[in-house]
A and B are shown apart, each in its own frame.
Chain A
């Protein structure tokens, strides 16, 4: 437990170093962003010392660290609101999207990986491997556009861009920020179905990426386990191949999959940037993209910090989940 805490803290410190460093090397002058390019030299220098840019680097870092620990990432230039407030507003949208995508990736990816492994070299394996290769290599924005064209514009099976139809805006009180969850709690079924209709296509497209990855990893982990002696022993006991594969082999694969799933979730947050842009999904990805294109340094660094913190949290979570799936890990702590 102590070791886990130490690693979390040191990773966090490293993260702050990186964001601080990026803030210094990026060719955006934060002073200029405040005073504008018509300001006099005197004004420029006054603002420069006001925000502490004339101090020695270690002192600047220290002040940055203290501010970050207080949740102060400065104000966003575009929204002129505290960055933290902006992040808390947009993050639930991304969380909802990536959780749904992860669910799709795990629920379909693991069984497909298992089937590919047990049918190694046969047509099932070829189909699944080809399918995941496409998931790997297709650009998300292209898939997103095609998806919108086919399923929204032509077939009308799903709702269009955004999280909700305009007519449903502001009906459901924000509790978790996940509209599907909030609307269910509020008993607004119409809102729920509408938000699900909006969610399903971007989540499926984002989830396809993680499905491809999870399926490939599951396949290779399964192939490793199916070669083990204990598989022969379970067969010698007279167990059905179904039980041998889905209980014994997969039970051991979970141990390795925990990390894969945690990291997949992290990469979904990144993948959300493109998906959210295509689907006008008002989440972290879209927010980061807009900030980046408008040289809104505070917002970009704040968002980077948030993604980093989520990564650290996921790693911590997977460390905590390990002992649940692996009895050998229970003793080490």
Chain B
């Protein structure tokens, strides 16, 4: 492990220009990421997904991404054009989306979709890509890779679909994985299974992981460090184990509004929001 961080962000901003003033989706977000597991939590619209997409160069027009510094494994991302980003995507940084039902191409077999990533980055032959895809399916604990390879997305369950997604995104060996709500669309029973498989691969390959979620429990139990975002800004950073000691009123509010087993409360407290947090 080298000393230079895997990912460095300094004052990342994402702005959507509009007729009635600009919409700032991400305001001056800065953090360093080593080969660790970083969780980003926040409510809808807090800019957590947009941050992930900005790192991949996938912020759709008319969004404008600017940063004082944005480096991935030493490579400067701010000066990168679309072609340059394309070489990084899949190979250096990959992304897992929320719902495999919508994030896999419905008319291509799942095996081919995994092999496609391999062919794209290694210019490999059909057979080599197929063999790599079968290995990858086995690596995400799919028992009968040969059979699953030929299945289409509508024929696999949510949990299996998300494992296929992981295989598809990790086959080219990226250094950083951005998982955007990877388990929100899954049954509770398979959520942990999928996370465990992802976690296992991320650790054994020495990758960095950014886990984007609105689920505080999930993030605090799976990550080393947690960023709390509000209104496009990072309002608090703390070690996952110390989330209960968080000081920012927004984080405290989030924590307070979690229901707890065995503790009856007539009403959960409502989350108070202060516009000043986004400005501050």
Say whether A237 contacts B107, CB under 8 Å. no
Say whether B108 contacts A228, CB under 8 Å. no
Say whether A239 contacts B120, CB under 8 Å. yes
Give the distance to chain A from B153, nearest Cβ to Cβ, in Å: 8
* A239 contact set on B, CB distance < 8 A: 86, 90, 116-117, 120
Give the distance to chain B from A288, nearest Cβ to Cβ, in Å: 40
* B120 contact set on A, CB distance < 8 A: 237-240, 243
Interface size on A, residues (CB 8 A): 22
- Report if A229-B117 is in contact (Cβ < 8 Å); known contacts: A236-B90, A327-B154, A328-B152: no
Say whether B90 contacts A252, CB under 8 Å. no
CA separation between A235 and B93, bound complex, in Å?
A: 12
List B85-134 residues whose CB lies under 8 Å from chain A. 86-91, 94-95, 97-99, 102-109, 116-117, 120-121
Say whether B103 contacts A325, CB under 8 Å. no
Interface size on B, residues (CB 8 A): 32
**CB of B6 closer than 8 Å to a CB of A:** no
Give the distance to chain B from A172, nearest Cβ to Cβ, in Å: 42
CA separation between A228 and B106, bound complex, in Å?
A: 11
Give the distance to chain B from A207, nearest Cβ to Cβ, in Å: 28
Give the distance to chain B from A33, nearest Cβ to Cβ, in Å: 55
* B121 contact set on A, CB distance < 8 A: 238
**CB of A11 closer than 8 Å to a CB of B:** no
CA separation between A66 and B104, bound complex, in Å?
A: 52
* A232 contact set on B, CB distance < 8 A: 58, 97, 103
Give the distance to chain A from B25, nearest Cβ to Cβ, in Å: 16
Which has the most chain B C-beta neighbours within 10 Å: A229, A234, A251, A328?
A: A234
B123-151 vs A: 1/0 string, CB under 8 Å?
A: 00000000000000000000000000000
Please, which residue of chain B has its CB at the minimum distance from the CB of A330? B152
**CB of B227 closer than 8 Å to a CB of A:** no
With beta carbons under 8 angstroms apart, the residue of B87, B89, B108, B155 that contacts A248 is B108
CA separation between A234 and B89, bound complex, in Å?
A: 10
Say whether A235 contacts B89, CB under 8 Å. yes
Q: Which of B165-173, B208-216, B243-251 forms part of the interface with chain A?
A: B165-173
B221-245 vs A: 1/0 string, CB under 8 Å?
A: 0000000000000000000000000
B195-211 vs A: 1/0 string, CB under 8 Å?
A: 00000000000000000
- Report if A252-B107 is in contact (Cβ < 8 Å); known contacts: A235-B58, A327-B152: yes
**CB of A230 closer than 8 Å to a CB of B:** yes
Give the distance to chain A from B169, nearest Cβ to Cβ, in Å: 7
**CB of A255 closer than 8 Å to a CB of B:** yes
Say whether A326 contacts B107, CB under 8 Å. yes
With beta carbons under 8 angstroms apart, the residue of A230, A234, A240, A243 that contacts B106 is A230
* B98 contact set on A, CB distance < 8 A: 229
Q: List 26 A-B contacts (CB under 8 A).
A: A229-B99, A230-B103, A230-B105, A232-B97, A233-B97, A233-B168, A235-B89, A236-B56, A236-B89, A236-B95, A237-B89, A237-B117, A237-B120, A238-B87, A238-B89, A238-B90, A239-B86, A240-B86, A252-B105, A252-B106, A326-B106, A326-B107, A327-B107, A327-B109, A327-B152, A327-B155
Contacts A232-B58, A237-B116 known; 10 new A-B pairs at CB < 8 A: A229-B98, A235-B58, A237-B120, A237-B172, A238-B86, A239-B120, A252-B106, A255-B107, A326-B106, A327-B155
